[in-house]
Amino acid sequence: MIDDCRPSTKKVLSMSDIQNKIREEAKKALESGDVSVVIGWGAGTVAFKTTPVFIDKPEDTDKLVWNPACVNNLAVYLPKMAKDSKAGIIAKPCDIRSIVGLIQERQIKRENLYIIGLGCSGVVDAFNLDSQDFHVQDVTGLDWTSDGLKVNTTNGDYTVSCSDCLRDMCGVCTNRNPAIYDVKLGEGTEPLETRACSIPEIPEERRKYWSEQFSKCVRCYACRQVCPNCYCEQCFADRIEPKWTAKKATAEEAWMFHATRAMHSAGRCISCGECERVCPVDIPIAELMREMANIVKERYDYEAGDPEQKSPVLGHYQDEDFDPAAHGG
């Protein structure tokens, strides 16, 4: 089951050890003048949340943190911040897959990056935490242990099983170690069991399911803003001419927005699940992305964020590709 998942039997560094090493590495990089900024996570207003921080002075590196609440995919900042100068980034394996994608799509250059890659045991879903015995307001610290998530609170310590607090995307993640890095810290744990899909199979029910989900959309575009793949200078959703989708938050327009975004992400999404996390109305966007990713993998043997791939899946073709024509070529 999902519960015997936390740090494997081999001796691993605790997250606070790794946090110290992160600070050291960031400090070294800034002091040497190699990078102008280090992008990482800092403590949030509450202990179970973190916030992206941009450190540009060596003495500020103590603001960097590493704990199971470091959810943000920081690669989203790179197309702007690593454009003309070298930036340091602290990245989980999924963030690194985003970075690989950005490099393949020529949005950033590898030589403009200093990557502090982390082994990962998954991150927590703050909403799931809230459903436990304690109040999230009382939380003072989080750490993975072999039994699950250790939560320090002002009223004592609790242990929460992984299945109760792990983010959905982390439960199915199979890449627990960074694919590319300049420094690697920590070791990823073994992948967990694959989660079954909860979306109906029958087309008509499926159509209903998705149109109902999309009809909740308030068009805040948080999913787009947080997505490292959505780096277009002008999004199709913001265009007046041609008007691909109107700005009004109707079900029909929302469908067009989400269907197009799914198409634009097909074969590019690395399943970090950020879109789903930031969605204020809980649309399971990541589920749709994951289904598309599975199709791409099965058909083209292509996985987004894999450094072995030379070009994006829709950026090249092979003569013997699958033929979608109903009667063949």
Partner 1 sequence: MSEETKVIDTQAEGSAKTSEWQPRILGILCNWCSYAGADLAGSARLHYPETIRIVRVPCSGRVDPMFVLKGFQKGFDAVMVLGCHPGDCHYAKGNYYARRRIALVKDLLKTLGISEDRFHFEWVSASEGNRFAELVTEMTEKVKKLGPFDGVTP
Do 69 and 153 meet the contact criterion of CB atoms below 8 Å apart? no
259 binds partner 1 (CB under 8 A): yes
| Stretch of 7-15, 23-31, 72-80, 296-304 contacting partner 1, by CB under 8 A | 296-304
| Stretch of 43-51, 121-129, 139-147, 288-296 contacting partner 1, by CB under 8 A | 288-296
d(CA 326, CA 239): 34
What's the closest the beta carbon of residue 293 comes to partner 1, in angstroms? 11
d(CA 23, CA 8): 25
Structure tokens at 136: 């999230």
Task: Output the CA–CA distances (angstroms, integers) from residue 127 to 130, 171, 175, 278, in the order listed.
Answer: 5, 16, 24, 11
Structure tokens at 39: 């992008």
Question: Residue 43: enclosing H or E segment and its boundaries?
Answer: strand 37-43
DSSP character string of 119-188: -----B-HHHHHTSSS-GGGEEEEEEETTEEEEEETTEEEEE-HHHHB-HHHHH----S-SS-SEEES-P
What's the closest the beta carbon of residue 32 comes to partner 1, in angstroms? 44
Strands 139-145 and 37-43: unpaired
Name the residue nearer to partner 1 (CB basis): 83 or 299: 299
288 binds partner 1 (CB under 8 A): yes
Q: Which of 138, 292, 297, 307 binds partner 1 (CB under 8 A)?
A: 292
8 binds partner 1 (CB under 8 A): no
Instruction: Please list the residues that pair with 301 across neighbouring strands.
Output: none
Do 85 and 38 meet the contact criterion of CB atoms below 8 Å apart? no
Name the residue nearer to partner 1 (CB basis): 220 or 295: 295
Query: Which positions from 198 to 217 touch partner 1 by CB under 8 A, shown as an x/- string?
Result: --x--xxxxxxxxxx-xx--
| Stretch of 57-65, 105-113, 138-146, 290-298 contacting partner 1, by CB under 8 A | 290-298
Name the residue nearer to partner 1 (CB basis): 99 or 223: 223
Q: Which of 174, 243, 281, 311 binds partner 1 (CB under 8 A)?
A: 243
Name the residue nearer to partner 1 (CB basis): 197 or 220: 197
What's the closest the beta carbon of residue 240 comes to partner 1, in angstroms? 10
What's the closest the beta carbon of residue 277 comes to partner 1, in angstroms? 21
| Stretch of 18-26, 111-119, 130-138, 251-259 contacting partner 1, by CB under 8 A | 251-259
Helix 285-300 with 251-265: angle, nearest 10 deg = 40
Structure tokens at 60: 């500020």
Q: Which of 125, 296, 303, 304 binds partner 1 (CB under 8 A)?
A: 296
233 binds partner 1 (CB under 8 A): no
What's the closest the beta carbon of residue 200 comes to partner 1, in angstroms? 8
232 binds partner 1 (CB under 8 A): no
| Stretch of 8-16, 177-185, 227-235, 284-292 contacting partner 1, by CB under 8 A | 284-292
- Could you identify the residue written with the tokens 């999913």? 223
How many other C-beta atoms are found inside a 10 Å radius of the C-beta of residue 181? Answer: 19
d(CA 329, CA 326): 9
Where do contacts with partner 1 occur on this chain (CB under 8 A)?
200, 203-212, 214-215, 236, 241-245, 250-253, 255-256, 259-260, 262-263, 266-267, 288, 291-292, 295-296, 299-300, 313-314, 317, 319, 321-327, 329
